[in-house]
Structure 1
Amino acid sequence: MSVTPAGTAQQYTVTWLEMTERPSYGWPHQPLGAPASLLKAEDPPVWFFLSLYDAVGRDYAWEEMHDRSEEDLARWLHHPETSLYTLMRQGWPHGFFVLDHRVPETCNLAYFGLVPQAIGRGLGRFLLQNAVLTAWDLPGTQKLTVNTNTLDHPRALQTYQRCGFDPVMRTDHTRVLKRPIDASRIPD
């Protein structure tokens, strides 16, 4: 594994996507193998969110949430229009998503992902379709948004598109990494 060290300036492109009508697919069937449960957290502690955020995002340079104060994160997590769902399987978290419905008529899929040990087990589409349909079930949802970037999993963009999201904007950015990341999975 090749590692890009902390302190490295990393260029990346963010793709903003949206969905303006509920998709025609129905709720997904349980994935093959061990049963999976999707649990909504009630007033989750900040440490729980950050543990999921780090487990999913450490290889993708997810760092921004560590710049926010614990009080600020708690306000966001406990807001009545923000919800955290955890995919549990075999007694441990396999992934999570956060829906942020604070903007009227718009629900943002703020965070979504699987832990490394769950990737490649057919859980990504199951979790994403559940996230999408849960968002559309929220009262007043007229649009669902999400963004991904070239530091995320290489199949993230196509997975969002397969589930019904359309790209609406791309922007280029540079960030200085605060933690090392696996450079072998970042496109040149």
Structure 2
Amino acid sequence: MLSDGFHDVPDGKLAMVVTHLEMRAAPPLRDVSLPDGVTLRKVTPTLEWYRDIFNRVGAHDWLWFSRLQMSDAKLNAILTNPDMAYYTLSKDGQDEALLELDFRQAGECELAYFGLTSKLIGAGAGRYLMNQAITAAWSRDITRFHLHTCTIDSPQAVAFYIRSGFTPYRRQIEVADDPRLTGMLGRDAGPHVPIID
């Protein structure tokens, strides 16, 4: 158990406050239209597609790195699992969003990854995609839809999830190697998080 006060984080590490959120029933959804020229599609992901969209949505701007650490075999086992579902939003012929739903735990769905590239942020596409996530999750026989986000992600994330019907229920501290110092990501990634090496 952590005591009150400041705690040093070793050089080369990131420390993140992780907020866990859940919903126990499908909330009412307000109707939201897709922005002009944007289409939703369900994806059967390949390694190449997934690594590309994962990088463009989250790795550079928000330091998403957990899936980048996985071997092709381990990641492919997740991508091909029938209890996983993937969606994207496309604009001008290019996919610009990642929605990953994980139904591997009986009776539950985890919103494993959710995000948009900068081409769609601010256009209303995020609200539309979240409505699709909620609808798809509760179309299955579940009693709980949950996710977690952290302080190196978008500062709007927690408020967006709460407005979407999720309730915070747990907070943790996660410490991990800074992926910009391991060479997994470039040093220009996550400019909102200073590098301390």
| Matches of 1:118 and 1:25, distance apart in 2 | 21
1:133 has 2:141 as partner: no
User: Secondary structure, in 3 states, of the residue corresponding to 1:76?
Assistant: helix
User: Secondary structure, in 3 states, of the residue corresponding to 1:102?
Assistant: coil
Alignment deviations for residues 13-54 of structure 1 (CA, whole Å, 9 cap, x no partner): 00011000011125x43234x232211112x21111111111
Deviation at 1:183, TM superposition (A): 3.1
Stretches of structure 2 that go unaligned for 5 or more consecutive residues are: 1-10, 181-186
1:168 partner letter: Y
1:182 has 2:190 as partner: yes
| Matches of 1:126 and 1:151, distance apart in 2 | 24
- TM, length-normalised to structure 1: 0.87
Q: What residue number does 1:74 align with?
A: 76
Q: What residue number does 1:161 align with?
A: 162
**Root-mean-square deviation (CA), in Å?**
1.7
2:33 partner letter: Q
More displaced, 157-166 or 82-91?
A: 82-91
- TM, length-normalised to structure 2: 0.83
Q: What residue number does 1:171 align with?
A: 172
User: Secondary structure, in 3 states, of the residue corresponding to 1:118?
Assistant: coil
| Matches of 1:126 and 1:63, distance apart in 2 | 26
Percent identical: 30
1:13 partner letter: V
Q: Work out which of the two has the higher radius of gyration on C-alpha atoms and give 1 or 2.
A: 2
Deviation at 1:110, TM superposition (A): 0.4
Deviation at 1:12, TM superposition (A): 1.2
| Matches of 1:11 and 1:123, distance apart in 2 | 30
Q: How many residues align?
A: 176
| Matches of 1:36 and 1:120, distance apart in 2 | 13
User: Secondary structure, in 3 states, of the residue corresponding to 1:117?
Assistant: coil
Distance verdict in 2 for CA 1:146–1:83, change over 3 Å? same
Alignment deviations for residues 84-141 of structure 1 (CA, whole Å, 9 cap, x no partner): 1111122211211000001000000100000122212221111111111111112x11
Deviation at 1:184, TM superposition (A): 3.3
